[in-house]
Amino acid sequence: MGESGDEALTPAGRLFLQEETKQVIHCVIGLKNPIDVELVKSEVRKSTMLQHPRFSSLMVRDERGVEHWRATEVEIDRHFRVIEEALGEEGDERAINGYLAELSIDCDGLSMDKPLWEIHLLMAHNCLIFRIHHALGDGISLMSMFLASCRKLNDPQALPAIASSPSTRSNTSNPPFNFYNLLVSLWFSFLFVLDFILRCFWVRDPKSSITGGAGVELWPRKIATATFSLQDMKTVKTAVNATINDVLFAVISCGISRYLDSRAHNGLRDGVQLTGLAMVNLRKQPGLQELSNLMKSNSGARWGNKFGMILLPIYYHKSNSTDPLEYLKRAKATIDRKKRSLEASFSYKIGDFVMSTLGPKFAGLLNYRILCHTTFTISNVVGPQEEIMIGGNPITFLRANSSALPHALILNMVSYAGRADMQVQVAKDIIPDPEFLVKFFEDALHEMKEQVTAKI
């Protein structure tokens, strides 16, 4: 048994410590002014982060191998890595992305003899990279905590406003409760849950030019950044009563189809399905959370990892025969059906059940298997809608990515102050030209906006 005062990890936390599913989140923060190292350390010392027990505890295992959190003294200097020299002559964005690509296959970089987080300061690039083990929390928890340490740029005494979720349901996707709609929800739940179970064991995507597989998480990586205007996304979504997530999924569907079309002899027939794995926040309150609520055990918000997974199918179509807005209509229809099902909740509950009954090793293998049977991962975390600063230094961009997965394509989007940056992480031996793929994503949104505005 653990020592008195030790706290057991949640099932999701234990999952992210397994060899097959080990994950580290990278929060990337661009700063306007040069970094003052001592000021950053001072801000961390007095931040709400160190008041949270997850960030001031060691992960230890008892004699049965069960993981626990054990409180410890935080030695701030051990959590900082200062890189003074420039990372290359390619410009800030490429240099930072190159550094992140190396970190993405370095899960062992977080030593277990200290709390599972560290901060890298890229001095020549005015950039801060916060590495946090996924066992500590998910994107919603970490973004909420980060914003508690920031202030509004135009009001230095005020905390950033907590934004609402980009996936808030429209009236069409959240129909009134009646017997018919109950039957529809049960039917969709049955179909999607059955598909999820089959994916865990037998069904897999056809092989394509972007397919990963077992062991690909260890392959060298490249990262490129797709940048979107949130106003453009809102213009497009309003035209069809959609959501930002609908538009994002349509952009990804269109961009991947066009990229595959550009790869000679991709061997795919028109209309073939490729499947994405998306993360869905399951907290009662959607979107970012007040940090005080997250730290209350009875709030319903709950700190940690509180998300489910859903399967999002996309369909390859030849570029010269498909209207970009058709991708949006299909994306909206798909996501509306998913919202009416219990797929995300089921995936979370079944993972919890497997962890409790069969143990973390089996749960890790099951999770790894569904990753190997799908084609890409996608996540979207909404950030502050206004400009903010940390320690008096204005923030120029917010981005996020994570450790490599068996997928050859991982997409992580974060929005901030009118724009959204999507980190496109690839296994470079499978997708050698992520900048080319990024261009297809950005062009897809531009074309959708042009078609929508032309009809107004």
Task: Give CA separation, 76 vs 118, 121, 144, 210, 441, in Å.
Answer: 9, 14, 22, 41, 40
Q: Catalytic site residue 265? A: no
pLDDT at site 168:
41
Residue 140, CB half-sphere, CA atoms under 13 Å: how many? 27
What pLDDT is recorded for position 63?
A: 82
Could you give the CA distance from residue 249 to residue 440 in angstroms, rounded to a whole number? 13
Cα angle 298, 18, 222; round to 5: 105
Torsion sign over Cα 67, 72, 75, 80: positive
Q: What amino acid is encoded at 78 in this protein?
A: R
Q: Report the distance separating Cα 388 and Cα 392, nearest Å.
A: 9
| DSSP string over 141-198 | HHHHHHHTT-EETTBTTSPPPPPPPTTPPPTTTSPPP-HHHHHHHHHHHHHHHHHHHH
Q: How far is residue 294 from each of residues 6, 162, 291, measured CA to CA in Å? A: 20, 13, 5
Contact (Cβ atoms closer than 8 angstroms) between residue 114 and residue 79: yes
Helix 179-201 vs helix 343-358: crossing angle, to nearest 10? 50
* Cα distance between residue 247 and residue 62, in whole Å: 47
Q: Which fold has domain 8-152?
A: Chloramphenicol Acetyltransferase (3.30.559)
Domain boundaries, the chain: 8-152, 181-382+404-454
The SS3 call for residue 422 is strand
How close are the terminal C-alpha atoms of the chain, in Å?
67
What is the pLDDT at residue 47? Answer: 86
Per-residue pLDDT of the chain (456 residues; tens, 9 = 90+): 456 678 888 888 888 888 888 899 999 999 999 999 999 999 999 888 888 888 999 999 888 878 899 999 999 999 999 999 998 766 689 999 999 999 999 866 688 899 999 999 999 999 999 999 998 988 888 888 888 888 999 998 888 876 554 444 444 456 776 888 889 999 999 999 999 999 988 999 999 999 999 999 999 999 999 999 999 999 999 988 999 999 999 999 999 999 998 886 667 888 899 999 999 888 776 545 455 555 544 444 466 688 889 999 999 887 665 688 899 999 999 999 999 999 999 999 988 889 888 888 899 999 999 999 999 999 999 888 899 999 899 999 999 999 999 999 999 999 999 999 999 999 999 999 999 999 999 999 999 999 999 876
Neighbours of 357 (CB within 10 A): 9
Query: CATH topology of 8-152 equal to that of 181-382+404-454?
Result: yes
The domain 181-382+404-454 having CATH identifier 3.30.559.30: the answer here is: yes
Q: Residues 272, 366: contact at Cβ < 8 Å?
A: no
* Annotated active-site residue in 134, 317, 373, 407: 134
C-alpha 154/C-alpha 432 separation (Å) is 42
E strands in 198-272? 221-229
